[in-house]
Structures are given as C-alpha cells and as structure tokens.
Amino acid sequence: MKKSLPISVSSTINSSTQLHQAKSLANRLNLPFHPSIGKTDSSYILAYTAVGLQLVQFADTGQMRSLLFVDFVKGKNGYRHSRNLTIKQPLAKAIGIKSGFRPSVFDATAGLGTDGFVLACLGCKVSLCERSPILHALLEDGITRAAGEPGTKEIVADRLDLQFEDSLVFLQQTSKKFHTIYLDPMYPHRTKSALNKQEMRVIRALVGDDEDCGGLLEAALAAAENRVVIKRSKGAEEVPGPPPSYAVKMKSSRFDIYL
C-alpha cells in the first residue's frame, strides 16, 4: 500500500530565485515550505540544489544525501544515453523498434523516466505519464534541464512530452492511439532482495504497489495499435488478464509482449 512520507520543500541555495521556485513548488504540491533547509523537521525534503531538484534526506551525522534525482545529461543515465544507443538491446526489441521504424510510445508508468528517455534517444516519440506528484516534479525538472543542454535539447523538444495524470484514467478516456504502450508497474515484492535498492524502496513508499495492473493492461490493450509491453522481474507472475504473446528475457527481469 502507498505510504504517506513526511516531505517538505526547500533549497540549498539561498537566492531569491531558488527560494521562490521552491515556494511555488510547495504550493503546487500542497507541501510545507522551509526557507532554511537545515531547519525543517521533515524526514524527506524536495530540495533545489546546485545540480537540480532532488529528494534528499539528512543522516544522523547531519550530512545530506540524495535519494532520488533525475539527470539525463550526466551520471548513469547520461552514460546510458551516450553509450547504449543500439536497437539490439532488449528494451528496443520489446518495444518493437526495427530498422527504419520507430514506434510511438506511451510510457504509462514513467517513474524517473529512465526507459522512456532511452527510447526517445533511439528515435521514438515518447509520451511520459506519471501519477505521483513527487516523481512528476523530479522528472519535470530533469527534462527541463535536459532541454537546455546541447546534446539533449533536440531529443526533448522533438520526442518527449510529460503529463501528470493517472494512466488508467487517461487510457480509458483518450482517443489517441500509440503504436506501443509500455508498463513498468510497481508489483508487490515477494522477497527481501526486491527491497535492497534504496531508490526502489523510496519510490515504493511514494507510489505504493500498482494494484490496478489488470485494469491498466485491459485499458492499454484497447488503446495500443500494435503492442503492449510489461516489464516484470524474473519469476514474477503475469499480470491478470490475457496471456502474453511472448517474452523477451533478461538476467533478472523480462518484458512480456502482448500483440
């Protein structure tokens, strides 16, 4: 189930611009705003920092540590963007990318946008949809920064859009069609290993388990022109509904493909 995290908004930079930006975000998300980041008693803080918006936490030692941060220019996603641009990778195969064909993609569970951005780098037009206001704010900031960088600005301008909405509601109401609809649901964890990664623990606490997977699959099948792709961990049960046509398997996960 979704947990309510005690989150406030602040800035590590004491400038009128950054503080105004933080206050506006706090008002938009209906969260407490603290002009001084060191004086908030919230366990988690959405903080505007020198590198961008981050979800941070202070350790007992008083040291600030970053929990969630979207960066499509540098770091692991920047490296992935520059080094892993091949249509032979499992994600590209699952989505339906082929030589001379780039499907339009609706990423119904965008999260931190990692897979969606890779697909955009590979040439797909990708619509990112995220229902968590915290994740949406982080993703929005990451996209905005990428739009200002020479290496990524055209990718963002030409092939990425982001919306804050419940994907199930959107798919049930939209008349728009996408070649591929991509789902990476937060399925209930079965083992301790599923909670080992700090990033995933925080995201799970923010969004909870996607208990509407069956309904989302049904809506996706009705809206997709070509296929629906669901990312699952290795050994996880199939989403309730019709069986997948086939699967693209990897070491620790798989893509279930519905044609």
Residue 20, pLDDT above cutoff 70: yes
Q: Which two tokens stand for residue 164?
A: 């804050």
The H-assigned helical ranges of the chain are 16-29, 75-83, 90-95, 114-121, 133-147, 153-159, 167-173, 198-207, 213-223
| Whether residue 44 is found in the same domain as residue 96 | no
Domain boundary among 25, 44, 69: 69
| Whether residue 56 is found in the same domain as residue 89 | no
Q: What is the pLDDT of residues 142-157, one digit of tens each?
A: 999 999 999 899 999 9
pLDDT band at 192; cut points 50, 70, 90: very low
| Whether residue 100 is found in the same domain as residue 169 | yes
| Whether residue 32 is found in the same domain as residue 107 | no
Domain boundary among 69, 86, 121: 69
Contact (CB, 8 A) for 187 and 208:
no
| Whether residue 65 is found in the same domain as residue 157 | no
Q: Which residues pair with 222 in a beta bridge?
A: none
| Whether residue 42 is found in the same domain as residue 102 | no
| Whether residue 174 is found in the same domain as residue 215 | yes
For residue 126, being part of any structural domain is answered with: yes
Surface-to-core class of residue 43, CB atoms within 10 Å of its CB (0-12 exposed, 13-18 middle, 19+ buried): exposed
| Whether residue 62 is found in the same domain as residue 186 | no
Q: Which of 162, 167, 169, 187 is nearest to 228 (CA)?
A: 167
Residue 248: which CATH number?
Answer: 3.40.50.150
DSSP 197: S
Q: What is the pLDDT of residues 21-78, one digit of tens each?
A: 999 999 999 999 988 887 777 888 999 999 999 999 887 777 888 999 999 998 777 7
**pLDDT averaged over every residue in the chain:** 88
| Whether residue 102 is found in the same domain as residue 62 | no
User: Which residue range is the domain that position 34 belongs to?
Assistant: 7-69
Q: Which two tokens stand for residue 182?
A: 């991509």
For residue 1, being part of any structural domain is answered with: no
Q: What is the pLDDT of residues 209-230, one digit of tens each?
A: 666 788 999 999 999 999 999 9
What's the mean pLDDT in 251-256?
94
Q: What is the pLDDT of residues 65-110, one digit of tens each?
A: 899 999 999 877 775 666 667 899 999 999 999 999 999 999 999 9
Q: Which of 70, 88, 75, 81 is nearest to 132 (CA)?
A: 70
State the CB neighbour count (10 A cutoff) for residue 28.
Answer: 11
Size of the chain, expressed as the number of residues it contains = 259
| Whether residue 48 is found in the same domain as residue 134 | no
Is pTM beyond 0.85 here?
yes
Residue 159, pLDDT above cutoff 90: yes
Query: Can you give the pLDDT at residue 197?
Result: 75
| Whether residue 233 is found in the same domain as residue 105 | yes
Residue 188, pLDDT above cutoff 60: no
| Whether residue 129 is found in the same domain as residue 42 | no
Domain boundary among 69, 85, 114: 69
For residue 42, being part of any structural domain is answered with: yes
What's the domain count of the chain?
A: 2
For residue 127, being part of any structural domain is answered with: yes
